[in-house]
Amino acid sequence: MRGMGLISNDELVVRLLLTGYRGLVRPALFTSASGDPEEIHSQVIALLSELPDALIQRIQSLLGARRNPIEVAGIRFPGRVGVAAGLDKDGAAARSWAALGFAFAELGTVTAHAQPGNRQPRIFRLPHSHAIINRMGFNNAGVEALAARLDQWGVKRGRNMLDGPIGVSIGKTKVTPIDQATEDYLFSLRTIAPYADYVAINVSSPNTPQLRSLQARDLLSELTGALVNAARELAPADPVPIFVKLAPDLSAHDLAGLIEVCEETGVSGLVATNTTTAREFLHPSELHLASQAGGLSGAPLTRKALRMVEATANRTQLPIMGVGGIMTPADAQAFFDAGALLVQLYTGFIFNGPALVRGINTLTLPDRARR
């Protein structure tokens, strides 16, 4: 039928949603709040956090076409596409993500202590490159505030109170010395473990000084070993799964060492990847922004993140969540084909809205390469 120029109902719905978002919603969003990307982000999260239950259910009936359920690390995911860490740092909008078609949400990154993050301006939108540069610096209200919010909603690990698994990304508090990082992460893990279906260890953000040094073999072994052991002590019969988030800028040698450590210490899975410090594939009109410090996400990251997923899958049987530059359903399909079992969105969602979520849910074949 496609050879005759016909498209499926699913393709038609995605095209209509994408046209509406790009033609109406995105221009209005990008020009609101004097065009300040961080303020716009805050306003959208606030709006999503205040949606009444009846409206959430109505939106979900229109957009929430989740498909291809899978069990990963003992967790049942009702679909394959989730919210990436950074989009909803403090979990304010956690009740609304399923309505937009997301099968799970990774909240955070949160830290042991509340912190304001780096100085503003700290986020830069590159519309011609379909990209974002951010140097947020783990601005968040602290892990205890997130735990209190989830507790108020009755969220507990495994209860599916928000219509999909809830992951939580934890990072090091900026003022904590690197030699005290393990205790810092342990506090966050012990605080959030009763509420999180999995915990992702963020050692790959480029926006906290020395954080990426925790990817070094000895430091990572100490950190992941302590966290996995703590998870087992907290719930011996069913410890919370621990994932590790990788940088896209790792060398093949460093990636091999990192994977070996994760396997040795009992990590449950990997998130590939974080933002990149590279500045490849920028539109010529936006090269002047290349000097801005921070991590680059969006379309310029797609190829690098995809290569990292493929390299990781070729070295380990640990399950992989693919993230980084997924801007189209075809990108998501490439990540699935490379070995990712799940994918996450941030920048792609900002540029393409719920149409992208719907497209991945309805137009991809996540298990095609494994058949």
Q: Are strands 269-272 and 242-246 parallel, antiparallel or unpaired?
A: parallel
Asked whether 315 and 256 are in contact (CB, 8 A), the reply is yes
pLDDT confidence bin for 166, thresholds 50/70/90:
very high
Residue 371: is its pLDDT beyond 80?
Answer: no
Beta strand 131-134 with 123-126: parallel, antiparallel or unpaired?
A: antiparallel
Residues 6 or more apart whose CB falls under 8 angstroms from that of 361 comprise 65, 66, 67, 68, 79, 80, 81, 101
Yes or no: say if 303 and 325 are a contact pair by the CB < 8 Å rule.
yes
- End-to-end CA separation in angstroms for the chain: 24
**Res 5 pLDDT > 90:** no
The domain spans of the chain are: 2-364
* pLDDT score at 2: 44
Does the active-site annotation cover 205? Answer: yes
pLDDT at 370: 77
pLDDT of residue 62: 87
CA gap 40, 143 in Å, rounded: 24
Supply 8's token pair.
Answer: 């499926």
Using CB atoms within 10 A of its CB, is residue 25 exposed (0-12), middle (13-18) or buried (19+)? middle
Closest residue by Cα to residue 110 from 135, 134, 85: 85
In the predicted model, is pLDDT for residue 175 greater than 90? yes
Q: Are residues 112 and 187 in contact, defined by beta-carbon separation less than 8 angstroms? A: yes
Segment holding 231, helix H or strand E: helix 217-234
For residue 1, pLDDT over 50 is answered with no
Give this prediction's pTM: 0.97
Residue range 2-364 forms a domain whose CATH class is alpha beta
344, β-bridge pairs: 82, 323
Among 188, 205, 268, 297, the active-site one is: 205
For 224-235, what is each residue's pLDDT tens digit?
A: 999 999 999 999
